[in-house]
Amino acid sequence: MSQLREQLLQVTRALSELGLNRGTSGNVSVRDGHGMLVTPSGMAVELMTPHDMVWMDMQGNVSSKSNGSDKAKPTSEWRFHRDILQARPEVHAVVHTHSSFATTLACLRRDVPAFHYMIAVAGGDDIRCAPYALFGSQALSDAALSALSERRACLLANHGMIAVGASLPQALALAVEVENLCEQYWRALQLGEPHLLSATEMQAVHVQFQGYGSWKSS
């Protein structure tokens, strides 16, 4: 578990260094046996240590025996981390950010359509925006799960973005790519409505992506 704690901390730091999260915003989780490790609530990244990562079982119980820090509490968003990991056995890591461009589009409650072929990295022909729900609530978790159906990323209305992966590095890489796509889409919208790829054109992209590096179809 010590190695997973260190990896979780490194990804959390990377999100801050890349500007995808600032201050105490955002959170990350990774599957660990019959439970998960999640980042702590309300703690600045620069103050976090591996011992501050919180272990929870899939019923949402915090285990004092499995945690290195008695003071750390799990992120308030632990429900959607738990629910995603339970519903998607192929997923082992969940990244949640309040990155600028993804959040901007989420505040407009816009899906990101197939304006660019790289939309396929999120698993479909668009990146859906989940309906608004209060942060930390079961309603938000339910909305996120629906938006992530047959997808690896989604936006959360008036909130941010979620990206998932088979590993922490994969989930981080997808979060970076989704933020990049959101920036490109936002910039294109400043000039007008971009031309969208057709379903047939996107199907060809999905076929081309099969077995292609870290974006291979799962």
In this structure, what CATH number is given to the domain that contains residue 180?
3.40.225.10
pLDDT at 63: 77
The answer to whether 130 touches 156, Cβ cutoff 8 Å, is: yes
User: What share of the chain in percent tops pLDDT 90?
Assistant: 89
List the catalytic residue out of 6, 17, 46, 77.
Answer: 77
Residue 156's Cβ-count burial label (10 Å; 0-12, 13-18, 19+) is buried
Provide the domain count of the chain. 1
Domain coverage including residue 33: 2-215
Q: DSSP secondary-structure letter at 215?
A: G
Task: Output 214 or 97, whichever has higher pLDDT.
Answer: 97
Mean pLDDT of the chain: 94
> Is 77 part of the annotated catalytic residue set?
yes
pTM of the predicted protein model = 0.94
- CA 117-123-124 angle, to 5 degrees, is 65
pLDDT at residue 217, rounded to an integer: 47
Q: What is the pLDDT of residues 166-215, one digit of tens each?
A: 999 999 999 999 999 999 999 999 999 999 999 999 999 999 998 766 55
- At residue 153 the predicted structure's pLDDT band, cuts being 50, 70 and 90, is very high
